[in-house]
Structure 1
Amino acid sequence: MDWFRTLLIVAVAVLGWNIIFQWNQDYGQSNDATASEVNNPQDIQVGHNDALKPQVADSINSSLVPQSEKTEVSAPVVTQNEPKIIQVSTDIYDIEIDLNGGDLVRLALKQYPRSVENPDDPFVMLVNNSNAKYIAESGIIGASSFDLDASAEQGRPVFKAAQDSYTMSDNSLVIPLEYTNAAGVTFEKRYIFNKDSYQIQVEYEITNDGNSNWLGRPYSRLRRTGFKDPSTGGGFGLPTFLGVAYWDPEEKFTKVKFSDLEDKGTRSAYLNTTMEGGWIGILQHYFVVAWTPAENETNLYRASYNENMKVPGGQEYIADAVQQQITVKPGETVTTSQSMYAGPKLQERLKEAAHGLNLSVDYGPLFFISDLLMAVMKTIHKFIGNWGFSIILLTLFIKALLFPLAAKGYRSMAKMREMQPKMVELKKKHGEDRQKMSQELMKLYQKEGVNPLGGCLPMLLQMPIFLALYWALLESVELRQAPFILWIQDLSIMDPYFILPLLMGASMYFQQRLNPEPPDPMQAKVMKFMPIAMTFLFLFFPSGLVLYWFTNNVLSIAQQAYITKKVQKGA
């Protein structure tokens, strides 16, 4: 029992260590811009010197040539003109739209502060400045589309807007942008925002007053340079996934690291597939931006990497969806639409936006346990309104639920403690003969009716719950900047004063004192060292997770002390 219990504790420590450092290798990005540079409100103004100027023909070819004939993906066509910005304010967004192309070049979330220290500064998702570029681009490509209009020298249309700024006053807000090409085709691009919704609709109304058919393919694209995820900062070595993700109705949810796009090579498609339904986006910690076409719509989805020295850092990652070609005959008006989700990874909202988008909240291999734990915590939170106390009550609920099984383990440990004098005698008698010692110990266990592995049961029960809760706390935006009490003002990051980890280490030490000391001296030394090692490990864990483990230890001590007294009384 002792060696197995020691092995379990070491496994928890090693697993935790790997969680910290291996994930840093897997998902940590080598970035040029820092989080503060990206999310500093003073740096969010759109720059004048960061526009891309690739050849128009490259964009035509990569967009219109069938997948079977061509897999190269070129950088998008972008205006060379100075940015012409209109401001948009809704109940949840602060947005900037560049009339050169009509793209979203800045999007800030009003209900999600940049940091606890800066509650009035909204978190910025989309950004376009000298340090970083992350924009949501949309348009229409094709032989006669406006993005390739010969009269537009910059390669993108320059839209007109009736106002310089728009503010939501009702349940919805429509931003109309208009452009007419030399052939007499008028395009009205409309952004539609609904109150308390993170879904953004982009509509095109195309009116052909010319003399020939108009052909084009609507596209939607995310372009991001390799700056650091500004929403990550929970503690040393705790990065989360940053990269492209897409949903294929057949292959389901897939994540692609930016490094994988780089390995494919510049302007070559890692993903280049046509499918009905689905979505594509870029994930970061707590937040997601994704283009979400209709489920009955067929799109060409692509993900690629592009080396371009004219963008911050000299590199950008591209995720886009290209719709089927539409034809507008002379005298006709055709409307087409695209939709985008831009906001926090709230599972209920994600499910409403697109099928499978809720999987962007990735709880890892134990997701079924994480989902259950979060459902219980959300229910508790509705009544008490504090996520810290929700974690404590969740721990109470788990301990009560598992107590009948854990009690067997505690009884086994209590009996082992009573057997300690007999085990010491056996050690004195057969200490040099390990085989004989093991045989005599097994006989003693059988005689006393003790299962040597029974004491490991409580820890075995805790391990999957601990790991599932780790992912739940790390991935759930509900815990972002969630205060507890006193000095803990953000349960998603490590304790700034290390008080909780020290309390956790002390509780682990006292819990260890209730257990019988292993007969093997080396095992005994390892066990005595474990509280120190675990304390060091937990210094960098989210304080919400440390709170769970500390509460779990305190309850385990109480349960074990109760069972031990009953065993000693012969109950």
Structure 2
Amino acid sequence: MKNFSPRTLLWLVFAGSLLLLWNNWQLQHMPAPTASTAAVESKTSGAVTPASASSTSSDAKPSNSAEGFQLKGQALLLENDVLRLKINTEGGVVQLAQLKQFKNNHDDSLNTVLFNSASSDPEVKNPNQVYFARSGLANAELGLNHKTIFTASAPESVMKDGQDAVSITLTAQNNGVTLRKIYTLKRGSYLVDVKHEIDNASANAFVPRLYLDLARDTSDIGDSRFYVTYTGPVVYNEENKFKKVPFADIAKGKVDYTTKADNGWVGMVQHYFVSAWVMPEKVERTFYTDTIQSRPFAAYNVGEITSLPEVAPAGQTSFDAQLYVGPQDQKTLAAIAPGLELTVDYGWLTIIAKPVHWFMGFLHAFIGNWGWTIIALTILMKLAFFPLTAASYKSMAKMKALAPKLKVLQEQYGEDRMKLNQATMELYKAEKVNPAGGCLPMLVQMPIFIALFYVLQAAVEMRGAPWMGWIKDLSVPDPLWILPVLYMITMFIQTKLNPTPADPMQARMMLMMPLIFGVTFFFFPSGLVLYWVVSNIFSIAQQWYITKHIMDPAPKP
């Protein structure tokens, strides 16, 4: 580390920050691929999706014809205390899903909406949007799929006091075969039990092929304004574990996931929320993704298909699946299916972020307010790293004490950078000062604090959670900009407490950092900014304490 330069580290941090901001801006503002573009790319490249590449007569995907995304059936209401669903009699498509305990980011009078697809339903706000869940039999000769018109047991089923579950049954018949779809919602649950019952009154035996899939377009990719979180399909199985399948990769036919397994699930994720189809374990299934040609945006689907046991004449069979439509609550998701909690996107530091999230939940159980929980967690983490912080501040204090001597060297060697660097290193060696000593302890702590950043960004618990006074929602930016301004002030104080860099340009950059990051934080969730403000204030207090009570007092001249 003899050639390590704090200036190099500063440039890396600065360049990385600019790259991150530029990348997020590009992702947030780049045009979504249109349906026609996706179609041309797919046809000209000759690429096919894994499912179509491996398709046989026993696992063919459902048809994705361009016409007919305007649902023409009747919208049925299925509702419990937390979830409001509209199920269309055309194919039993789940066309609308409202989360009653999560309000719209822009209008507190409205519920958060996940599924929201074109139909005559007046509750559908965007008539061009495609986001729904569907299922059916892939046997083309049976004609019992997501385009079939079903009859309903009732126009609505709304949970009342004293009820533990509500359900609706859809029934369709063709060529002597009857398919029933039974949708059941239990109290307090975002999980929909979907049972498919098949009766064969025909003269021939057949093997039903059942598909479950989710489709959405790129018209709305989440509610974050400045930073970007992943929105799109995901596939999970024990072989590949958790795999993101971006819309752009599907459009190009360049996807990479295991297509056949006897376990796993498929889902659509966005910031804070997820929808997923879950089949029972030890059931052979084929995963697939595809492009749906729709206007005005390209739409994509992800699904799984399985072959059921042969149904003889006068025979019947059934299959139970589950559809989750709700928040990314890690404890709930982990109990539904292995790996489902991984839809909470912690990036590359998941192994650290998950324990941090657990500890936050532990603290919240005692504190009861997520804002104060963030403050408590930040202070506890700063205390835990106090020995490393003390070592860092001691090193910086030694560097600050050498500032006059470094200035003399600058005046002595002028523009001769080589001799200046050589003399500077000799001074460090003579004074037993490591120029990297102030940085290395900070670098050791960096993964923990980055993991906490991811936790605060991804945790659905922050959404709609108030702190105090003007902060009504920790997941949205500070409406009065008080926290970003406090961040700039505290960061400026920290900068002044640290040794002034010998390089004038480096010194100017250090003074600019509070402004650069402060402006960025005007657009970040207030929960994240609260964490940084508390971290800065506590760091200032730590630095003052170390200087006054731990460092040896400087000798008098």
| Fold shared, TM-score > 0.5 on shorter chain | yes
1:491-506 to 2 correspondences below 5 Å: 491-506=474-489
State the match for 1:168 in structure 2: 159
State the match for 1:332 in structure 2: 315
Offset of residue 442 of structure 1: 2.9
Return the letter of the residue paired with 2:336: A
Question: For 2:261, what is the secondary structure of its paired residue?
Answer: strand
Offset of residue 344 of structure 1: 0.9
The verdict on how the C-alpha distance between 1:24 and 1:240 changes in structure 2, with shifts beyond 3 A counting, is farther
Q: Distance in 1 between matches of 2:17 and 2:460?
A: 22
State the match for 1:478 in structure 2: 461
Q: Distance in 2 between matches of 1:314 and 1:275?
A: 32
Q: Distance in 1 between matches of 2:95 and 2:198?
A: 24
Question: For 1:118, what is the secondary structure of its paired residue?
Answer: coil
Superimposed CA distance per residue, residues 324-345 of structure 1 (whole angstroms, 9 cap, x where no aligned partner)? 1432222322111222221111
Q: Is the Cα contact below 8 Å between 1:142 and 1:216 reproduced in 2?
A: yes
The verdict on how the C-alpha distance between 1:81 and 1:475 changes in structure 2, with shifts beyond 3 A counting, is closer
Q: Is the Cα contact below 8 Å between 2:51 and 2:287 reproduced in 1?
A: no
Offset of residue 26 of structure 1: 4.8
State the match for 2:385 in structure 1: 402
Question: For 2:21, what is the secondary structure of its paired residue?
Answer: helix
The verdict on how the C-alpha distance between 1:526 and 1:16 changes in structure 2, with shifts beyond 3 A counting, is closer
Question: For 1:524, what is the secondary structure of its paired residue?
Answer: helix
Aligned partner of 2:509 among 512, 526, 533:
526
Aligned partner of 2:490 among 507, 516, 524:
507
1:102-113 to 2 correspondences below 5 Å: 102-113=92-103
Superimposed CA distance per residue, residues 494-521 of structure 1 (whole angstroms, 9 cap, x where no aligned partner)? 2233221221111111111112222222
The CA RMSD measured in Å over matched residues stands at 3.0
Superimposed CA distance per residue, residues 361-383 of structure 1 (whole angstroms, 9 cap, x where no aligned partner)? 12111122222222221111111
Aligned partner of 1:368 among 342, 351, 367:
351
Superimposed CA distance per residue, residues 16-56 of structure 1 (whole angstroms, 9 cap, x where no aligned partner)? 333333134357663599xxxxxxxxxxxxxxxxxxxxxxx
Q: Is the Cα contact below 8 Å between 1:28 and 1:239 reproduced in 2?
A: no
If the length of structure 2 is used for normalisation, what is the TM-score?
0.86
1:295-374 to 2 correspondences below 5 Å: 295-309=281-295, 313=296, 315-374=298-357
Offset of residue 161 of structure 1: 2.1
Q: Distance in 1 between matches of 2:187 and 2:472?
A: 29
State the match for 2:426 in structure 1: 443
The verdict on how the C-alpha distance between 1:66 and 1:547 changes in structure 2, with shifts beyond 3 A counting, is closer
State the match for 2:110 in structure 1: 121
Q: Distance in 2 between matches of 1:555 and 1:6?
A: 25
State the match for 2:55 in structure 1: 67
Q: Is the Cα contact below 8 Å between 2:32 and 2:297 reproduced in 1?
A: no
Task: Please say if 1:96 is aligned against 2:96.
Answer: no
Superimposed CA distance per residue, residues 227-260 of structure 1 (whole angstroms, 9 cap, x where no aligned partner)? 112x413x33x12111111013212211111111
The verdict on how the C-alpha distance between 1:13 and 1:327 changes in structure 2, with shifts beyond 3 A counting, is same
Offset of residue 73 of structure 1: 7.1
Question: For 1:297, what is the secondary structure of its paired residue?
Answer: coil
Return the letter of the residue paired with 2:291: Y
Aligned partner of 2:134 among 128, 134, 137:
137
Q: Distance in 1 between matches of 2:4 and 2:369?
A: 40
Question: For 1:321, what is the secondary structure of its paired residue?
Answer: strand
Q: Distance in 2 between matches of 1:332 and 1:501?
A: 67
Superimposed CA distance per residue, residues 508-553 of structure 1 (whole angstroms, 9 cap, x where no aligned partner)? 1111111222222222222222222222232222222222222111
Q: Distance in 2 between matches of 1:485 and 1:90?
A: 31
Q: Distance in 2 between matches of 1:390 and 1:177?
A: 46
Q: Distance in 1 between matches of 2:343 and 2:363?
A: 24
Q: Distance in 2 between matches of 1:484 and 1:125?
A: 26
Offset of residue 288 of structure 1: 1.0
Offset of residue 79 of structure 1: 8.9
Q: Is the Cα contact below 8 Å between 1:388 and 1:544 reproduced in 2?
A: yes
Q: Distance in 2 between matches of 1:11 and 1:83?
A: 57
Task: Please say if 1:244 is aligned against 2:237.
Answer: no
State the match for 1:17 in structure 2: 18
Q: Is the Cα contact below 8 Å between 1:219 and 1:321 reproduced in 2?
A: yes
The verdict on how the C-alpha distance between 1:28 and 1:329 changes in structure 2, with shifts beyond 3 A counting, is farther
Q: Is the Cα contact below 8 Å between 1:293 and 1:339 reproduced in 2?
A: yes
State the match for 2:43 in structure 1: none
State the match for 2:274 in structure 1: 288
Q: Distance in 2 between matches of 1:84 and 1:506?
A: 58
Question: For 1:211, what is the secondary structure of its paired residue?
Answer: coil
Task: Please say if 1:86 is aligned against 2:89.
Answer: no
Task: Please say if 1:228 is aligned against 2:220.
Answer: yes
Q: Is the Cα contact below 8 Å between 1:298 and 1:323 reproduced in 2?
A: yes
Return the letter of the residue paired with 1:173: V
Return the letter of the residue paired with 1:289: S
| Structure 1 outlier segments of 4+, above 4 Å | 26-29, 62-66, 68-73, 76-81, 269-272
Q: Is the Cα contact below 8 Å between 1:102 and 1:177 reproduced in 2?
A: yes
Q: Distance in 2 between matches of 1:369 and 1:272?
A: 27
Q: Distance in 2 between matches of 1:11 and 1:490?
A: 33
Q: Distance in 2 between matches of 1:432 and 1:523?
A: 16
Superimposed CA distance per residue, residues 142-167 of structure 1 (whole angstroms, 9 cap, x where no aligned partner)? 1553427xxxxxx8432222321101
Return the letter of the residue paired with 1:19: L
Offset of residue 554 of structure 1: 1.2
Number of aligned residue pairs: give it. Answer: 526
Q: Distance in 2 between matches of 1:66 and 1:531?
A: 55
Question: For 1:220, what is the secondary structure of its paired residue?
Answer: strand
Return the letter of the residue paired with 1:224: R
Q: Is the Cα contact below 8 Å between 1:64 and 1:142 reproduced in 2?
A: no
The verdict on how the C-alpha distance between 1:156 and 1:505 changes in structure 2, with shifts beyond 3 A counting, is closer
Q: Distance in 2 between matches of 1:102 and 1:251?
A: 31
Q: Distance in 1 between matches of 2:216 and 2:30?
A: 13
1:458-477 to 2 correspondences below 5 Å: 458-477=441-460
Question: For 1:327, what is the secondary structure of its paired residue?
Answer: coil
Q: Is the Cα contact below 8 Å between 1:473 and 1:479 reproduced in 2?
A: yes
Q: Distance in 1 between matches of 2:421 and 2:223?
A: 50
The verdict on how the C-alpha distance between 1:17 and 1:171 changes in structure 2, with shifts beyond 3 A counting, is farther
Offset of residue 125 of structure 1: 0.7
Q: Is the Cα contact below 8 Å between 1:493 and 1:542 reproduced in 2?
A: yes
Superimposed CA distance per residue, residues 178-199 of structure 1 (whole angstroms, 9 cap, x where no aligned partner)? 233352x333221122222222
If the length of structure 1 is used for normalisation, what is the TM-score?
0.84
Q: Is the Cα contact below 8 Å between 1:90 and 1:193 reproduced in 2?
A: yes
Structure 1: unaligned runs, 5 residues or longer: 34-61, 149-154
The verdict on how the C-alpha distance between 1:220 and 1:72 changes in structure 2, with shifts beyond 3 A counting, is closer
Task: Please say if 1:569 is aligned against 2:557.
Answer: no
Offset of residue 7 of structure 1: 3.6
State the match for 1:41 in structure 2: none
The verdict on how the C-alpha distance between 1:182 and 1:14 changes in structure 2, with shifts beyond 3 A counting, is same
Percentage identity across paired residues of the two chains: 35
1:2-13 to 2 correspondences below 5 Å: 4-13=5-14
